Structure 1
Amino acid sequence: MQHYLTIFINGDPFNCHNSMSLSDILYYLNIDINVVIIEYKHTIIHKEDFNTLYFNNNDSIEVISIVGGG
């Protein structure tokens, strides 16, 4: 049984354990969930769903940083 999978984050491969949720992955990568938008399957994922979203091998997400300006 395969315990690891590869997902693509902004086009780059990332190997992770299959038990890691989106929240776990963002924490591992030290990404502040308060300043990013996550797109998965052409849908924006709400922050309250980060803990319950798990991935399949070769899934792809986009992490979009929110940048303030002036």
Structure 2
Amino acid sequence: GMSGERVPGKVIFETQSTHKMLAALSQASLIHIKGDYDEDTFNEAIMMHTSTSPSYPIVASIETAAAMLRGNSGKR
């Protein structure tokens, strides 16, 4: 996972299935990145493996799920 201390020069990429863990539509997921990385290289790689026609309802559900994590929602 993403826990632990940073290791110089090491980058961790992790995906989270938000449709399983949060209130997001099926197929929704996030990519979490820990460490310093080259944004242009990452964007080039991600565009090689993603659709050029994103599902805007799925994107909106990810934004809603992320908003639910902000603030004190669900905290005891």
Q: TM-score range by the shorter chain?
A: under 0.3
Normalising by structure 2, what TM-score?
A: 0.26
Normalising by structure 1, what TM-score?
A: 0.28
Higher helix proportion (structure 1 or 2): 2
RCO comparison, higher one (Cα < 8 Å, 6+): 1
Structure with max Cα Rg = 2
